[in-house]
């Protein structure tokens, strides 16, 4: 009985934090401390939204994002993401066919979670 409860509880916690379904901008959600990151890919690079706990109110005010692209050979590329109106734009991934993981180091409104949002490549909900 305890095992069934734990599976049910952990599954609900995971889904309540954005795992398993697209975010408000159709991106991939990860929870970091008391906010969420939403990662969206496009032809120009990566778009990162810093969302509140309700998956809303994306902000760049007093915030910053750094991305680390980790490749299959374990080489890493550190990039700074530029603030836009309500999101951050990270440079295009140069060796996308060799990509293994994207790590985001994000600070939202001066809140530094001391942890990374990790996205395995290819991205899945």
> How far is residue 78 from each of residues 17, 65, 66, 85, measured CA to CA in Å?
26, 11, 7, 23
Calculate the average pLDDT of the chain. 88
In the CATH scheme, what is the code of domain 2-120? 2.60.40
- So what's the pLDDT on residue 112? 87
Cα distance between residue 32 and residue 67, in whole Å: 14
Region 26-33 average pLDDT: 95
The structural domains of the chain, with segments of one domain joined by +, span 2-120
What's the pLDDT tens digit per position in 52-109? 999 999 999 999 999 999 999 999 999 999 999 999 999 999 899 999 999 999 999 9
- So what's the pLDDT on residue 30? 97
């Amino acid at each position: 009985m305890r095992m069934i409860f734990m599976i049910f509880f952990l599954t609900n916690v995971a889904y309540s934090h954005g795992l398993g379904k697209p975010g408000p901008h159709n991106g991939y959600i990860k929870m970091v401390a008391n906010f969420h990151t939403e990662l969206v890919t496009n032809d120009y690079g990566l778009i990162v939204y810093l969302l509140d706990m309700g998956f809303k109110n994306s902000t760049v005010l007093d915030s910053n994002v750094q991305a680390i692209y980790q490749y299959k050979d374990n080489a890493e590329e550190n990039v700074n993401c530029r603030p836009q109106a309500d999101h951050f734009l990270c440079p295009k991934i140069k060796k996308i066919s060799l990509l293994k993981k994207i790590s985001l180091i994000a600070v939202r409104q001066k809140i530094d979670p001391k942890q990374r949002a990790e996205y395995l490549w290819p991205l899945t909900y």
